[in-house]
Structure 1
């Protein structure tokens, strides 16, 4: 009997050592990342990144002259622009537009004016010369008629045939005179139209030069009102800055926002937009104030989506009115918006990484004193951080975040 006990003693010692290892050293030596099942408020929400904008703002625009279609300048470059966030008063300097394009057009217009002036002078000279020649032709035709009239008078003493021939020559001379007169009137009208056309072109170019000179003096942009300067965004999402171009089709250089109402503008993915509605509560964090959480309410939801750049999916524009809580929120600040779909108190939760799908089951790997065991669970919703546990775990249980080999 004693011999048998001595044989079993090493086996018992090995078992006790294994249990002791699991009880006292396993957490430190397994090297497995562990999370604890917690109890608290569970929020089911949709998250999106946005940017703060003012509900109302005053646009800082290109000079009015540039919107005139007679000015043949498609776009113009911003040479200088005050730093974003600069506080300005009405009339303060904001930006300078590149004058090189305007100066080139002024030079071209002056050259055109010189050419038109020369053409106009030439047209007037040609008109005078042509009309003088036409008048001479009329005078010659009149003299010819008088000559034929005399011959008719003298033919009374001649035969009938000679009289008839003299009369025919007179009629031909009269017709020629009338033709010369018609030609003169047509030539005069043609020359008048030609001169008028050149004069009209000259006046138009003079007006263009006047507009361009006005534009050159208006390339220094000043604030139309008091406020804080905020850059506008291009069609590709980049902020308009020094080196960017503006045109009559996109005339905004910057804006002066009304900070009394601040919106967080974001795009919600089409798979989530059906969960978002006007009046929905939103929790907002802003990069500039990482320790603060702001409350918001959905103001509008777009009916038509557009492709979100770089994500190859459609998004719907959503505007959220933000409660600033006394903080100075400025347009352009980045926001993270959590659209609260549902809130539940006293719920069990684990990190999303702790739940795995195996076949038709959702499971976790629970850490116990005797090792890691697989545990089937029933879940009831998730958010960006946690999954709600309905059945299968208790508060304080520990689960691993990577499945064991």
Structure 2
């Protein structure tokens, strides 16, 4: 009797163990995630993040002729906040005048020197010409005096009269020579004055031009609009503390918000798929619920190196079809470029694709069992893969590897 009771207890324990194992197996199976293959439209998509920008904009630039005065790198000392709406004539930026003030001081000293030189030249030439005129007047007086002596020497010996006549001829020759010298010195004086005057005028013009340039160090808006910072060649935005040059004088832009574009970069692997005219689905990180549409309008022919990218990337410009005053240049965009559309093709989630020994397969439910079925994959995007062979629509496939079927042999396409 006791023996039978022990048998019943052992059987009960065994049943409990088997029940626990069964329940554990069911829980394990229930943890396997499945999905069904389906027949539908497939979009081959190249995705990338980009930046929203205006298609057309007007640059707000600093002085254009700073190079004339040796000012090549000018620092921005103040710049209004990006996104500020300005009216025509409002201040947008101020430039550092330290170097300009130094040049103004130098030119002012040059102007003072040129003015002094002009005055000194004027005094010197006036005095020199006055001395020449005085010499001519003295010779003319000597000639008149000599003629009087000749008239009074009527009764003097012929030798005396001849000497007086020779003296008169000599004086007349000196007078003629002095008059010719006076003409030459007068021309020389005019030339000196012209040179001094030109130097003075040139220096004054440079000084006045530099004063006009100083006014351009306060940069104003050419028309109403929203201020957007310019990006430098490095990709960073130009801001307070940045420098501008005569070759790149822009400090900001006033974009036309009625026409927007998304600029993005595509890696060299996917660029062969992208062509102008392709449709694009655009999202804005700032407005997650907003979905925009666009069209690829420009595809760069030459790749460039970009920070945080190990391979070459190609610039892509996408024209945005919709416009809204709430969209701002510089907003981050997500761009899904539709490179190809396939109608009525069998698809499965990417998670359903597995590989083993260079064979691509899926775990599919076949009645009560699980089969490892080889499939041929066609195009794929970020979510789904097209099944060209090996699987039909409406078949349940596993998105995680079922432990109970991991060691099963693969049923190849030739066996199907």
1:309 matched to 2:311: no
Counterpart CA distance in 2 for 1:137 and 1:22 is 134
Counterpart CA distance in 2 for 1:17 and 1:248 is 85
> How far 1:351 sits from its partner (Å)?
2.2
| 1:77 and 1:98 in contact (8 A); partners too | yes
1:350 corresponds in structure 2 to 349
Distance 1:212 1:263, change over 3 A: same
Pick the structure with greater CA Rg.
2
Of the three residues 259, 273, 297, the one matched with 1:299 is 297
Alignment of 1:380-399 (within 5 A): 380-392=378-390, 395-399=395-399
Which stretch of the first structure deviates more once superposed, 217-226 or 132-141? 132-141
2:360 corresponds in structure 1 to 363
Aligned residues: 370
1:108 corresponds in structure 2 to 106
> How far 1:238 sits from its partner (Å)?
0.9
Counterpart CA distance in 1 for 2:382 and 2:97 is 52
Alignment of 1:261-300 (within 5 A): 261-300=259-298
Counterpart CA distance in 2 for 1:273 and 1:57 is 28
2:58 corresponds in structure 1 to 58
2:212 corresponds in structure 1 to 214
Q: TM-score, normalised by structure 1?
A: 0.71
| 2:364 and 2:373 in contact (8 A); partners too | no
1:44 corresponds in structure 2 to 44
1:319 corresponds in structure 2 to 317
Question: Over residues 255-281 of structure 1, what are the superposed CA-to-partner deviations in whole Å (9 max), with x where a residue is unaligned?
Answer: 111111111122334443343333211
Alignment of 1:106-145 (within 5 A): 106-125=104-123, 127=125
Which stretch of the first structure deviates more once superposed, 104-113 or 313-322? 313-322
Distance 1:203 1:285, change over 3 A: same
Of the three residues 64, 70, 73, the one matched with 2:71 is 73
Counterpart CA distance in 2 for 1:357 and 1:134 is 114
Segments of 5+ residues of structure 2 without an aligned counterpart are 1-10, 141-157, 160-165, 408-416
Question: Over residues 148-197 of structure 1, what are the superposed CA-to-partner deviations in whole Å (9 max), with x where a residue is unaligned?
Answer: xxxxxxxxx99xxxxxxx9xxx99xx8x9999988877766566445433
Of the three residues 365, 374, 377, the one matched with 1:376 is 374
Alignment of 1:96-245 (within 5 A): 96-125=94-123, 127=125, 192-245=190-243
Distance 1:357 1:290, change over 3 A: farther
Counterpart CA distance in 2 for 1:400 and 1:47 is 25
> How far 1:52 sits from its partner (Å)?
1.3
Secondary structure at the aligned position of 1:73 is classed as: coil
Secondary structure at the aligned position of 2:60 is classed as: strand
> How far 1:372 sits from its partner (Å)?
9.2
Which stretch of the first structure deviates more once superposed, 318-327 or 244-253? 318-327
Distance 1:371 1:400, change over 3 A: farther
| 1:365 and 1:372 in contact (8 A); partners too | no
Secondary structure at the aligned position of 2:244 is classed as: strand
| 1:294 and 1:325 in contact (8 A); partners too | no
Secondary structure at the aligned position of 2:45 is classed as: strand
Counterpart CA distance in 2 for 1:214 and 1:363 is 74
Distance 1:279 1:365, change over 3 A: closer
> How far 1:239 sits from its partner (Å)?
0.8
Secondary structure at the aligned position of 2:234 is classed as: coil
| 2:66 and 2:213 in contact (8 A); partners too | no
1:161 corresponds in structure 2 to none
Counterpart CA distance in 1 for 2:36 and 2:118 is 93
Question: Over residues 126-157 of structure 1, what are the superposed CA-to-partner deviations in whole Å (9 max), with x where a residue is unaligned?
Answer: 55577678889999999xxxxxxxxxxxxxx9
